[in-house]
Structure 1
Amino acid sequence: METPDGQQPVQRTVHVGSVTGSAFAIGDHNTVTQHQHAAPADGTQAELLRAVRELRADLERFVASDATEILDAELVSVTEEIEGAGAATPGRLARLRDALTATGALTGTLASGIAVGQALAALLGS
């Protein structure tokens, strides 16, 4: 394709090797939004976050039910609280514990479900 003056346009190339902890846009009319996540407040919150992520991945392999959908929603909420504020509140943790209990037959057989339960017990003292 030629430009209006008959010249060949300049070919521009972009090569991105690796990007970590940054946001950028390439091309015309782009916008960039970067969300910063808070670091977990302590090791127990970090462990809970890791276990919650693993349990969400494990749940994707099962047929959804009302109980697993409620559990997934609580897992999302806990993730958002830890990433946003560094820690999940006791009320949020209690709701997650209740949702985990409701799916006990399923989550009790998953290592990730057991890990979430153990992290909740450490944080809630039960």
Structure 2
Amino acid sequence: MASEEPQPQVNIGDVTGSTFAVGNRAEARSYHGNAPTGDDDTERLLAALRELRADLSRTRRTEQTEDLDEALADADDEITRTGNTDGSRLRRLRELLGDAESLTAVLASAGTVAGLLGM
């Protein structure tokens, strides 16, 4: 009788707060809180927020750009954690973008975020 070749084994014990993937095409994703909804509009907004933050990092820092960057970071964090962001946070972003009209005229990413916020 021929013996079978041993197969690779994976044993996972008690795991909390960790992310891992097993297999040739495995993909690990980690979410803190609820997983994002995957809503296309929310995903577009999240990408636009991140693009604007990257663009802001290349501008001269002012109180106005710091306030906007902080609000963008808060919205990014909330979307990443919950898959959504509340209306008051979006209103605050609209206000900050409205106050930074010169910035929205120069940075295409600011115009994109403004458009996604319905401005």
Q: Sequence identity, in percent?
A: 38
Larger radius of gyration between Structure 1 and Structure 2: 1
SS at match of 1:108: helix
**Structure 1 counterpart of 2:92:** 95
**Structure 1 counterpart of 2:63:** 66
SS at match of 2:75: helix
1:41–1:87 CA contact under 8 A, matched in 2: no
State the 1:44 CA deviation.
Answer: 1.1
User: Residues 39-78 of structure 1 correspond to what in structure 2 (within 5 A)?
Assistant: 39-78=36-75
Structure 2 Cα separation of the partners of residues 51 and 91 of structure 1: 18
- RMSD over aligned CA atoms reads 2.1
**Structure 2 counterpart of 1:36:** 31
How many residues align? The count is 93
1:40–1:83 CA contact under 8 A, matched in 2: no
Spell out, residue by residue over 1:58-90, the C-alpha distance to the aligned partner (whole angstroms, 9 max, x if none): 001111001000000000011011111111101
- Measured at CA, do residues 104 and 40 of structure 1 come closer, stay the same or move farther in structure 2, by a change above 3 Å? farther
Structure 1 Cα separation of the partners of residues 105 and 45 of structure 2: 16
* AA partner of residue 36 (structure 1): Y
What TM-score results when the alignment is normalised by the length of structure 1?
0.66
Structure 2 Cα separation of the partners of residues 72 and 36 of structure 1: 23
What TM-score results when the alignment is normalised by the length of structure 2?
0.70
Unpaired runs of at least 5, structure 2: 1-25
Unpaired runs of at least 5, structure 1: 1-18, 23-34
Structure 1 Cα separation of the partners of residues 111 and 77 of structure 2: 21
Structure 1 Cα separation of the partners of residues 77 and 105 of structure 2: 24
